Structure 1
Amino acid sequence: MEPHLSTTPFGRRSLTLAHVAAQANAKTRDPQKVVHKWTVFRAVCAAKARIGVSAGALTVLDALLTFHPETALMGEGLIVFPSNHQLCSRAHGMPPSTLRRHLAVLVDCGLIVRRDSPNGKRYARKRAGGEVELAFGFDLAPLVARADEFEAWAEEVRAEERALKLVRERITICRRDIAKMIATGLEEGVPPTRRRGVGPADWSEIHALFRGVVDRIPRTASRSELEPIADELSMLADEILTLLEAHIKTENMSANESHTERHIQNSKPDALTELEPDFQESRAARAEPKPRPPQIGEGAFPLGMVLKACPDIVDYARGGISNWRDLLATAAVVRSMLGISPSAWEEAQTVMGERQAAIVVGCILQRGAAIRSAGGYLRGLTQKAEASEFSLGPILMAQINSQLRTKRSA
C-alpha cells in the first residue's frame, strides 16, 4: 500500500493556504533535479529580505540541513526528523520556545513543509534492510523546487548591493575631492569669479553649497535616494575643478612678477589667519579676552578620539591628519570656509587653547546645517569657556555616538 504523507500539522496548529501552496510547489519539483544544499542556503541568506525570513530562522534552517546526510538534495528522501533537543543543540543552544517560533517562520515562508506523524513525534520507519520507508519531520523539498527562484532573487539583491556600494563610493570620492579642492582654492588665493554673473561669489559660499548637499544624505538611504545626490556632488566637483584649471591657465598667461610673488605669499598656510587687513587694529580696540589656564583640557583628548568624532575634517587636510599640527592647520582652513571671522578664531584660541579651538571647529563642521552661524556659535562657546562653563567632553561623546548610530543604520 502506498504511504500517505501528512499535509496538516499536528495539534492546535492551523493549516493555511500558504502551507498548501508550499506543498504544491514541493510536488512540482523534478525528481531528477539535484541541488547543492549549501548553495541554495547561501542564496536564501542573500535573498532573506525578499523571502521574509529572519536571521534566527536561517540559523535553524542551517541546523536542519546538517541532519540531511548528503550534500546534494535530490530524490524522495528529503525529510529530516531531528528532535527539538537535537535541533537546539545544533542551533547554538537556542531555547526551545525560540526554536519553535523560527520553525514556524520557515514553514510560513515556504522553505520547509511539516510532515507530522499521528502523535506529533518525528521519526522514521525503516525496512528490514535499513532503508527509510516512511519519515515524519520536516520536508526539504521546497528548497529543491524553488532553488532557481531563490538564486534569481539572490542575484538581484547582490546586484542592488553592488550598485549601492558603487554610488556610495562615488559620493565618498566626490566629497573628498570637493573638500580638498576648496581648501586648495582658499589657500592658493584662487578668486571664485562668477560666470556671466551666475554662481557663488566666494569660497565660503561654495563650501556652504557643498555642505548643503552633504547634509541631505540620509542615515539609511537606498540607491535611488543617493544617485541624485551623487550627481549633484559630481557636477559641483567638475565646476570647482574647472575653476581651478581656469585659474592655472590665467596664471600661465600672465608674466607679471608681482602677481607671481603675491601668489607665492598667499600659498603660505599662515596667511589664512590674516584675511582682514585691519584685524590688528580692530583687536586692539576691544577688550582682551582672559586666557584659559593652559593645563585645563589641553591634550586631554586623544587625536584618534577627535577624528572619530569629527571624521569630515580629514577631507580638508592636504595629506591627512596624523598629528596635532595637521589638525591645527586644517582647522585654520575650515574655519574660514565656515565663515568664522579671524577675531572670533583668535579669541577662541586665546581662551580655549589652540587644540580645543581646533576640535570645536571640527565639531561645528561635522554638525553642518544644524548650526546656522558658525562664528556666532564659536563666540558663544568661547564666552562659556571664559566663564568656566564649557566642557568639550560631552560634545565629543555626542558626536561619536551620532557616528556610531549612523554606521549601525547604514
Structure 2
Amino acid sequence: METVHSGGRPLTRAALAGRRRALDDGRTISRRELSAAGREAAKALRLRPALRSILSALCAVWGEQAWERLIVWPSNEHLCGMTGLSERALRYGLRDLVALEVITPRDSANGKRFAIRASGGAIIDAYGFDLTPIVARRGEWASAILEATARDAQRRRSFDLLTIRRRAVSEALGGLLTKFPRTDAADLLAAQESLERSTPKRRSSGADPDIVLEAWGELQVMAEERYYQAACAGNSGRHLEQDTGSPTDPCTKAPEEEPGLIRLPEPALVAAACPVAAEFGVKLETEADVIEIGRLMRGGIGAHPSAWSEACEALGPFRASVLVLIVAQLHDDDARRGEIRIKNPGGYFRQLVRLCSEGRYGLEAELMAMCRRRMI
C-alpha cells in the first residue's frame, strides 16, 4: 500500500534526536523557565535574529500543561503576526531550529497543527512542535555559554595586545625616522606594511587576531632593538658640542647658519617615504641613487623636460629628484585607494618646484609626514 503524504515533513536525524530528549519524571515547567531556557539556547547557539524571534514566540505560546512533552501548536499565520516575518522566512526558520535539535516536529496525519480535546473540552494532547529539547539540553547551553564567554574574553585580550604592539612598532619606527634618519629602517617599514594588510581592522569582523599577533610581537622587538642601537645602545657619553657661552645668555638663541646653506634630506628618509622607488630595483643609499631614480621616473609622472630643467636650475638635481619621487608616491597612493586627487602629476610637479623655490614647501617636513601617514 502506498502512503499518501498531505503536508507532513520528511524524517531527519535531527528530528529523531529531538524525540529522544526527555524531562525528568514528574518535572513541571513554567512559561518563565521555558523562556529562560530558550534565551540560553539562542545565546549558546548564536542564533540569528530571525531564529531568536521564532524561538521566543514558540516559548511564549506554551500553555503550561502538565504533560511529559512540551507541545505547542500555533499556526504559521499566528507566528508571522508575532515575529513580523514572512511565511517563507518562518518556514525556513522552523526548519533550521529542527536541524539544530532545538525543537522537534510532531506531525499529525494531514500535517496540520491542532489540539486534541476530551469530550469535556479539556486539551489532552496536541500536534505541532515539541519544545522539550530546549529544557532537556539546558546543561549543554550553560557549558556552551561558558566556553563562548571564555573565547570572547581571549579574543578581546588578543585584540588589546595587538593594538599595543602595533602602537609600539609605530612609535619605534617614527622615532627612528625623525631622530635617527641615517639609520636604515626600510626593511622594518616594509614588514609593517605587509602586516597591516593582513591584520583585522575591526573587532566585529570574524577574523582571528592570533594569526598576526606573534608576528607583530617579533616586529616590535626588532624595531625597538633598532631604535636602541641607534641611540648608542644606551651608552652615555660626553656631548660633542660644549656650551662655552655665558650662563646668563638666553638659552633660546638659535645657532647661526651659513648663508645660502640648504639642508638636504637624507636618502634613507626619501626611501622610507617613497617606497615606489623600489620598483626600479635600486636601493636609495646615496644622493646619486636618488638623482638617477628621479631622472628615470620624471617621464613616468608626465613631467615635461622643460619642467625638469627648471627644477634642476632652481633647486638642484637632488631636490628636483626628491620632488619627482614625492609626486610619484602620492599618485601611486591615490591609485591604490581608488582616488584621483592628482589629475595632472606633471603639472603638480611643476607647481611644487615653484613653491619649493619660494620657500613655501619643505621637502624634509613633507617626507616625514608621508612616513607618519604610512605608519597609521
TM range (shorter): 0.5 to 0.7
User: How far apart, CA to CA, are the structure 2 residues paired with 1:379 and 1:81?
Assistant: 67
Match of 2:307 in 1: 288
Asked if 1:57 corresponds to 2:51, the answer is yes
Contact preservation (8 Å) 2:44, 2:145: yes
| 1:244 alignment partner in structure 2 | 227
- Report the residue type matching 1:257 in the other structure: L
Supply the distance in 1 between the matched residues of 2:169 and 2:76 (Cα, whole angstroms): 58
Counterparts of 1:252 and 1:363, CA distance in 2: 43
SS at match of 1:182: helix
Instruction: Determine the C-alpha separation between the residues in 2 that align with 1:159 and 1:343.
Output: 58
Spell out the pairing of 1:100-119 with structure 2 (5 A cutoff): 100-119=91-110
**1:235 equivalent in structure 2:** 218
Deviation per CA, 1:76-105, whole angstroms, max 9, x where unpaired? 47222211111001111x222222222122
Larger Rg: 2
Aligned twin of 2:37: 40
Q: Which residue of 1 aligns with 2:353?
A: none
Segments of structure 2 that go 5 or more residues without pairing to the other structure are: 244-253, 256-261, 268-285, 299-304, 311-317, 351-376
Instruction: Please give the secondary structure, in 2, of the residue aligned with 1:82.
Output: coil
1:175–1:233 Cα contact (<8 Å) kept: yes
The letter for the 1-side match of 2:40 is A
Output the amino acid matched with 2:17. A
Aligned pairs (5 A) from 1:240-279? 240-248=223-231, 253-258=236-241, 274-276=265-267
Check if 1:84 corresponds to 2:76: yes
Aligned to 2:15: 19
SS in 2 for 1:59: helix
1:90-149 CA-partner distances (Å, limit 9, x unpaired): 111x22222222212222321112223444333334568875422222111110111111
Moved over 4 A (4+): 28-31, 125-131, 218-222, 246-252, 276-279, 281-287, 341-345, 360-367, 378-381, 383-387
321, 326, 345: which one pairs with 1:382?
345
- Out of 196, 210, 220, which is 2:192 matched to? 210
% identical equivalent positions? 21
Query: Does the CA-based 8 Å contact 1:81-1:124 persist in structure 2?
Result: yes
Report the residue type matching 1:64 in the other structure.
Answer: L
What displacement does 1:366 show? 7.3
Q: Give 1:141's aligned residue.
A: 132
TM-score (norm: length of structure 1): 0.55
Partner of residue 323 from structure 2, selected from 346, 355, 358: 346
Contact 1:10–1:120 (CA under 8 A) maintained in structure 2: yes
3-state secondary structure, aligned to 1:98: helix
How far apart, in 1, do the equivalents of 2:41 and 2:57 lie?
A: 14
Match of 1:160 among 151, 154, 159: 151
The equivalent of 2:62 in structure 1 is 68
Paired with 1:384 and 1:129, the residues of 2 have a C-alpha distance of: 95
Asked whether the 8 Å contact 1:344–1:379 carries over to 2, the reply is no
- Deviation per CA, 1:129-180, whole angstroms, max 9, x where unpaired? 8754222221111101111112222332332233233223322322222123
Query: Hey, what does 1:399 align to over in structure 2?
Result: none
Give the whole-Å Cα distance in 2 for the aligned partners of 1:113 and 1:80. Answer: 11
Q: Distance in 1 between matches of 2:240 and 2:336?
A: 37
Conserved? CA contact 1:88–1:99, under 8 Å: yes
What pairs with 1:119-138 in structure 2 (closer than 5 Å)? Answer: 119-125=110-116, 132-138=123-129
Shift of 1:54: 5.4
